[in-house]
A and B are shown apart, each in its own frame.
Chain A
Amino acid sequence: MTDTAVVHEDTSARWFIYTSVTFFLVTILIGVLMATRFVFPNFLGGVAAISSGRIRPIHTNGVLFGWLLAANMGLAYFVVPRLCGRKLWSEKLGLATLGLWVIIILGAVVTLASGDTQAKEYLELDTTLDILVTIAWVMFSVNMFATIATRTKDREQMYVTLWYLMGTLLWTAVLWIVGNLPVYSGVNDANVNWWFGHNAVGLIFTPMGLAMAYYFIPKTTGNPLYSHKLSIIGFWTIAFLYIWNGAHHIIFGPIPTWLQTVAILFSISLLIPVWTAVTNFYGTLRGKWTQGNYIVKFLVAGTTFYLLTCFQGPMHSLRTVNQIVSKTDWIIGHAHMAVFGAFSFFAMAGIYYTLPRILKRPMYSDRLGEWHFWLSFVGFLGFAVSLWIGGFVQGLQWMNYTISFLDTVKAMQPYYVVRLFSALIMITAQLLFAFNVFRTARGGGNPAAAMA
């Protein structure tokens, strides 16, 4: 994994990262707006285009595709050439991909705000945008496969990051195309929706996040990868086990019981890939926890949140647990732990690692980086823990039908207030992040000035 004397341009990597950070701020702002309305329902009301039902898919699609996938694509443009011992196959194709990606995201904001939606969670984008996403993904894949196919002889044995990346290229394409086909109806439509929705996390964001963690954890700590064998077990169990899980989103619902049971069994077995990856990460981070800077902190916390969220997941699938937590606010805390706590933390660590190497100057302020970590960490914990406690209480109240539904809504108020405050801390942290990134990009910064 040593870098050779190849001179990397990294323009695609750089601009993908800047773009993703910009979209991140917008999507979090939308999240905060929705969190506000859980405390003040009439806040900025009366405008169709920014009503919660329309901006909710902008928040989810924005975070998933505008921020996280774009950030990981940017990091891939940096990481893959270095693992292949050559330059990126085509920077021009990379920049064209970015151009298309920006058009897609802006198109998504406009269409979703105007109510043009396919109404299925994470598959909301209209047909034109679906096709554009497919084209952009093919462009990205061609660039990646061409770089990997022409790697130098001494890189023939590919590093684990590349396996995950190639897996993601395939998984994403198949999930996206099959998931978007307009041919399903009724409960099968729901089943396909969750075949897609579960694997959007399990086979797009998980392998992309793990690919990045497998690269950045050894790089940042200077430790060699703890176990090659564990990474092989982890990869192939993810490839085999994840795809079976979609139906655990509809447990007790109107789908066949055998399908639910299969999903539950495979959900429990997901502990295998998760614990192998986490063991590998902790093993590689050995001895570096206390001497770590904010990059290591993001990686340690990301690994821990990955462990926790993937412990929750299999537990939620158990019928006795599912009965209580399903459909409650608990799940919102769980989803944010995966997307924000685990994979966004990995991506942030990756950006802090790559940006100084692309720009050949240190981050504008390490102090801001530390603040970014601690505010993200504390803000997220407040957000998730309040929803976990509240959601659990909510689930137990729903089990007694003599408590009216409205009373269970009112009982959530204190938790929604804590969630709103925590969300404000989270967005403050990301403002510091964006400020740091863009001041570093502009250059000529004076770190002392930021130490206010």
Chain B
Amino acid sequence: MKLEAKAFLLVLAVAAFMFLGTYFTMVVPLTDRSLSTPTKDAKPYTELELKGKRIYEREGCMYCHTQQVRNLLEETQRYGMGEEETFKRFGIRALIQAPPSQPGEYVYDQPHLLGTRRVGPDLARVGGKYDNTWHLNHLRDPRSTSPGSLMPAYSWLFDRAGQPTDEAFALVAYLQKLGTNYKWREEGVEQARALQAKRAGAADPAQQQAPPPTQGGAQ
């Protein structure tokens, strides 16, 4: 008797194979506590941020923006803080790398918004990068802040007079929350300052480049 002649047995064998792969790749991670333990800085969303997240989902932002800094040097550099940014905001010149995204930063995300494609940049570490006004201008007219951008203008988040609606404010609150489940900006600046102070004591205090903070990867 061949399996291919018995419909019921064939379906049963197929189901067994499916269960095997599903168990190891889906059920085992579901029981892995380290994937559902929040990072030490992680805070649940406020009501406003959650409302903003729903707008982010409704408008399909995740189709063009990922929310994961991959465990790669070029991504921790690109999505970190450049020298200009640290100088303007913190008065030091240092390239502060963004740490790779970690499972504990996402535990309050339901649904997840990791995304798969970057028509626009990754947003996992965008919180705190720009001020609220920048975000509002960018949502109203993306090319006014980012020439060459392909993003749609979200005119329906603004009233007839061009003033932001509650939805626009909520969305910006959500964007400012992204990446703050890990206080990497503060920690990075602190480390860079400490390093510069140490070097200043040793020799020429002129512009020194701090090496990136060595924070652990995803795993």
List of A residues within 8 angstroms of B74 by Cβ = 398-401
List of B residues within 8 angstroms of A272 by Cβ = none
Q: Of the candidates A187, A251, A405, which one forms a contact with B103 in the assembled complex, judged by CB atoms under 8 Å apart? A: A187
Interface presence of A372 (CB below 8 A) = no
Report yes or no: B152 in contact with A51, Cβ–Cβ below 8 A: yes
Interface presence of A57 (CB below 8 A) = yes
Report yes or no: A253 in contact with B107, Cβ–Cβ below 8 A: no
Report yes or no: B152 in contact with A119, Cβ–Cβ below 8 A: no
Report A225 CB to chain B, min CB distance, Å. 13
Report yes or no: B118 in contact with A327, Cβ–Cβ below 8 A: yes
Report yes or no: B21 in contact with A243, Cβ–Cβ below 8 A: yes
Report yes or no: B111 in contact with A119, Cβ–Cβ below 8 A: yes
Interface presence of A193 (CB below 8 A) = yes
Report yes or no: A327 in contact with B5, Cβ–Cβ below 8 A: no
Interface presence of A331 (CB below 8 A) = yes
Interface string of B96-119 (1 = CB under 8 A from A): 000011110111111111111111
The verdict on A253 contacting B60 (CB below 8 Å), with A41-B151, A186-B35, A259-B25 known, is no
By secondary structure, the A interface counts as helix
Interface presence of A148 (CB below 8 A) = yes
Report yes or no: A57 in contact with B7, Cβ–Cβ below 8 A: no
Interface presence of A86 (CB below 8 A) = no
Q: List residues 42-100 of chain B with CB under 8 A from any CB of chain A.
A: 57-64, 66, 68, 70-72, 74-75, 77-78, 100
Report yes or no: B78 in contact with A193, Cβ–Cβ below 8 A: no
List of A residues within 8 angstroms of B72 by Cβ = 252, 323
Report yes or no: A189 in contact with B77, Cβ–Cβ below 8 A: no
Closest to B71 in A: A252
List of B residues within 8 angstroms of A192 by Cβ = 26
Report yes or no: B14 in contact with A171, Cβ–Cβ below 8 A: yes
Report yes or no: A253 in contact with B68, Cβ–Cβ below 8 A: yes
The verdict on A56 contacting B63 (CB below 8 Å), with A41-B151, A244-B25, A401-B77 known, is yes
Closest to B15 in A: A170
List of B residues within 8 angstroms of A444 by Cβ = none
The verdict on A406 contacting B114 (CB below 8 Å), with A42-B153, A192-B26 known, is no
Q: Of the candidates B22, B58, B61, B219, which one forms a contact with A243 in the assembled complex, judged by CB atoms under 8 Å apart? A: B22
Interface presence of A313 (CB below 8 A) = no
Report B113 CB to chain A, min CB distance, Å. 7
Report yes or no: A256 in contact with B153, Cβ–Cβ below 8 A: no
The verdict on A187 contacting B106 (CB below 8 Å), with A56-B60, A171-B14, A398-B78 known, is yes
Q: Counting chain B CB atoms within 10 Å of each CB, which of A169, A253, A262, A410 scores highest?
A: A253
Q: How far is the CA of A342 from the CA of B111 in the complex (A)?
A: 31
Report yes or no: B149 in contact with A406, Cβ–Cβ below 8 A: yes
Q: How far is the CA of A52 from the CA of B151 in the complex (A)?
A: 9
Interface presence of A297 (CB below 8 A) = no
Interface presence of B10 (CB below 8 A) = yes
Report B181 CB to chain A, min CB distance, Å. 11
Interface presence of B130 (CB below 8 A) = no
The verdict on A188 contacting B152 (CB below 8 Å), with A41-B143, A117-B57, A170-B15 known, is no
Report yes or no: B118 in contact with A170, Cβ–Cβ below 8 A: no
List of B residues within 8 angstroms of A398 by Cβ = 74-75, 78, 118
Closest to B105 in A: A254
Interface presence of B197 (CB below 8 A) = no
Q: Of the candidates B63, B70, B71, B149, which one forms a contact with A41 in the assembled complex, judged by CB atoms under 8 Å apart? A: B149
Closest to A186 in B: B106
Report yes or no: A191 in contact with B29, Cβ–Cβ below 8 A: yes
Interface presence of A367 (CB below 8 A) = no
Report yes or no: B152 in contact with A187, Cβ–Cβ below 8 A: no
List of B residues within 8 angstroms of A203 by Cβ = 18
Report yes or no: B18 in contact with A255, Cβ–Cβ below 8 A: no
Report A371 CB to chain B, min CB distance, Å. 33
The verdict on A166 contacting B5 (CB below 8 Å), with A243-B17, A331-B116 known, is no
Report yes or no: A239 in contact with B108, Cβ–Cβ below 8 A: no
Interface presence of B128 (CB below 8 A) = no
Report yes or no: B21 in contact with A331, Cβ–Cβ below 8 A: no
Closest to B110 in A: A185
Q: Of the candidates A52, A56, A189, A250, which one forms a contact with B109 in the assembled complex, judged by CB atoms under 8 Å apart? A: A189
Closest to A149 in B: B7
Q: List residues 173-227 of chain A with CB under 8 A from any CB of chain B.
A: 174, 178, 182, 184-193, 195, 203
Report A150 CB to chain B, min CB distance, Å. 11
Interface presence of B208 (CB below 8 A) = no
Report yes or no: B60 in contact with A117, Cβ–Cβ below 8 A: yes
Q: How far is the CA of A256 from the CA of B26 in the complex (A)?
A: 12
Interface string of A395-412 (1 = CB under 8 A from B): 000111100011101100
Q: Counting chain A CB atoms within 10 Å of each CB, which of B10, B111, B142, B156 scores highest?
A: B111
Q: Of the candidates A38, A189, A244, A249, which one forms a contact with B110 in the assembled complex, judged by CB atoms under 8 Å apart? A: A189
Report B98 CB to chain A, min CB distance, Å. 11
Q: Of the candidates B13, B103, B119, B147, which one forms a contact with A186 in the assembled complex, judged by CB atoms under 8 Å apart? A: B103
Report yes or no: A247 in contact with B114, Cβ–Cβ below 8 A: no
Interface presence of A418 (CB below 8 A) = no
List of A residues within 8 angstroms of B10 by Cβ = 158, 163, 166-167
Q: How far is the CA of A195 from the CA of B30 in the complex (A)?
A: 13
Q: Of the candidates A52, A167, A241, A401, which one forms a contact with B78 in the assembled complex, judged by CB atoms under 8 Å apart? A: A401
Known: A160-B4, A188-B36, A254-B103. 14 other contacts (CB 8 A): A38-B150, A41-B143, A52-B60, A56-B63, A117-B58, A120-B111, A170-B18, A184-B30, A186-B110, A189-B110, A327-B66, A327-B115, A398-B118, A406-B148
Question: Would you give 19 A-B contacts (Cβ < 8 Å), ordered by A?
Answer: A45-B155, A46-B153, A46-B156, A52-B60, A115-B58, A166-B10, A188-B36, A241-B21, A243-B17, A254-B102, A255-B103, A266-B21, A327-B116, A398-B78, A400-B74, A405-B121, A406-B146, A406-B149, A409-B119
B residues near A (Cβ < 8 Å) are 2, 4-5, 7, 10-11, 13-15, 17-18, 20-22, 24-26, 29-30, 32, 34-36, 57-64, 66, 68, 70-72, 74-75, 77-78, 100-103, 105-121, 142-143, 146-156, 218-219
7 closest Cβ pairs, A-B complex: A53-B60, A243-B21, A252-B70, A115-B58, A119-B57, A186-B106, A401-B77
